[in-house]
Amino acid sequence: MNRALAILAGVIAAFVFTCQGADAHWRKHHFDKRLAAVSIGVGAASTATYLSINQWNVNHWNAISITQFGAYAGTTIGCMAVSPIVATVVVNRPLTMREAHVLVASCVLPIVGGWLVNEAYNAHPEWEAGSGPPVVKHHRKRHAKM
């Protein structure tokens, strides 16, 4: 039975990867690929830290100094603190609130958290009002007539 489920999961995964992605060029909000890379990298480092607390044992919890929930909470909070910092360094500009919230949500709920927050921002564009860079108005100088 387990073998049949594994084969079924493999077939479903194969079909998922062969599907053509949707083209959303008309959408205004694109997520920077560098931010996705930062999210994956910091999430992987957070997972490695979580596993190293338990001496790389996945099946049962052996750590004496901290509980399993404490390790999860600590590594999640660390990921939430570090990922916006690393992303700011990588993209070399201040992050928008949308980008920061997507990164934080990716730490809390690793695979779908960032996607859910991004879709919530798409459904509520008023959440982003005024989050862009400040607009500088240039005034024309009037010259005296001679």
pLDDT of residue 17: 56
Question: For the whole prediction, is pTM greater than 0.85?
Answer: no
Cα 79 → chain centroid: 10
pLDDT of residue 130: 67
Q: How do the domains of the chain map onto residue ranges?
A: 30-126
pLDDT tens, the chain, 146 aa long: 777 767 766 666 655 555 555 444 444 556 678 988 999 999 999 999 988 888 887 777 777 788 888 888 999 999 999 999 999 999 999 999 999 999 999 999 988 998 999 899 888 888 877 655 555 666 667 777 76
Cα 82 → chain centroid: 12
pLDDT of residue 23: 43
pLDDT of residue 14: 59
| Nearest to 101, CA basis, from 113, 85, 89, 88 | 113
CA dist., res. 143 & res. 124, Å (int): 46
In terms of C-beta density within 10 A (0-12 exposed, 13-18 middle, 19 or more buried), how is residue 122 classed?
middle
